[in-house]
Amino acid sequence: MGTDQRQADPNRTLELLWDVQAPPTRGPKPALSLRQVVDTGIAIADAEGVAAVSMRRVADELGYTTMSLYRYVPSKTDLLDLMVEHAAEVPDLPPELTGWRDKLRWWANDTAEIYRRRRWALDVPLNTPPMGPNQVKRMEQGLSALDETGLSGGEMLGILVVLSGYVRGHAQLATALADVEQRTGTPQEAWDQAYGRMLTTFVNADDHPTLARIVAEDGFEGYAEPDDEWLGDDFTFGLELVLDGIDRYVERRRPAMSPE
């Protein structure tokens, strides 16, 4: 395959992401628009996953030739990046939220919600720093949530990296468990059975004492088969954990300050 991407042009990427480009005056009118191309890609990914998105496929869907897309997008890699950027729309922060913790919880949940609706976004490799409008807007939102804590810019950024790292990582793990069927073409139950067989066959008390005990106690129910709501209680549990950690950090940094 030729996916190597020998060279990338950050400026061009930036132009595309922020949709700034002197609209050309000379040639014939474009029949398509970047927007259409990206949206078509998103539609395909929504329906069949990111693996189904090929240049050919997108072009066919639009009724044009494969190569015509390259007038709008430098490479498939860029197309995927643009798809992620456009798919990650950021709603405004609900004004009724007051404390940083509520805001940050909403922020994390909303980010997770993106991954829930567009699971394919997790399959797009993260090649460049996030610098599209939506990504930046999301960052701004997170920062504004933390603003009242009085932390430094660096500290706030660190916290956001931690939090979005958690959201992304957890979403990925959850997806791996929940989407086996779609990803492997083999029914869920077959995997569950295999997992169970693995636990009973290879996990013995000598090598895996703790695990063996939990398995014996049936502590694995509900983990081999994840809950239907995908990012459910588990995510919330971890989120509160992280928020607690942030809380403790914030408290420690300004030991005796009035909340206002």
| Region of residue 90 (left: phi > 0; alpha: psi -120 to 50; beta: else) | beta
Among 64, 133, 134, 227, binds its own copies (CB under 8 A): 133
CA dihedral 70, 76, 77, 83 (to 10 degrees): 90
Question: Least distance (Å) from DNA to the CB of residue 46?
Answer: 17
Question: Least distance (Å) from its own copies to the CB of residue 181?
Answer: 10
The count of chain residues that interact with DNA, using the rule CB under 7 A, is 30
Neighbours of 52 (CB within 10 A): 14
125 within 8 A of 5, measured Cβ to Cβ:
no
Q: Is residue 162 within the footprint of its own copies (CB under 8 A)?
A: yes
Among 18, 19, 65, 117, binds DNA (CB under 7 A): 65
Q: Residues 30 to 49: which contact DNA by CB under 7 A? A: 30-32
Q: Which two tokens stand for residue 4?
A: 């190597």
Q: Is residue 256 within the footprint of DNA (CB under 7 A)?
A: no
Report the alpha-carbon distance of residue 206 to residue 251 in Å, rounded: 44
Nearer to DNA, 75 or 164 (CB): 75
Q: Is residue 75 within the footprint of DNA (CB under 7 A)?
A: yes
Q: Is residue 249 within the footprint of its own copies (CB under 8 A)?
A: yes
Nearer to its own copies, 40 or 164 (CB): 164
Nearer to DNA, 25 or 258 (CB): 25
Nearer to DNA, 52 or 212 (CB): 52
Q: Is residue 47 within the footprint of its own copies (CB under 8 A)?
A: no
Q: Residues 194 to 253: which contact DNA by CB under 7 A? A: none
- From the list its own copies, DNA, none, which binds 228 (C-beta under 5 to 8 Å, kind-based)? none
Per-residue binding string, its own copies, 207-246, x by CB under 8 A, is xxxxx-xx--x-xx-xxx---------x--xx-xxxxxxx
Question: Least distance (Å) from its own copies to the CB of residue 98?
Answer: 16
Neighbours of 24 (CB within 10 A): 9
Q: Is residue 64 within the footprint of its own copies (CB under 8 A)?
A: no
- From the list DNA, its own copies, none, which binds 66 (C-beta under 5 to 8 Å, kind-based)? DNA
How many Cα atoms sit within 13 Å of 110 on the Cβ side?
21
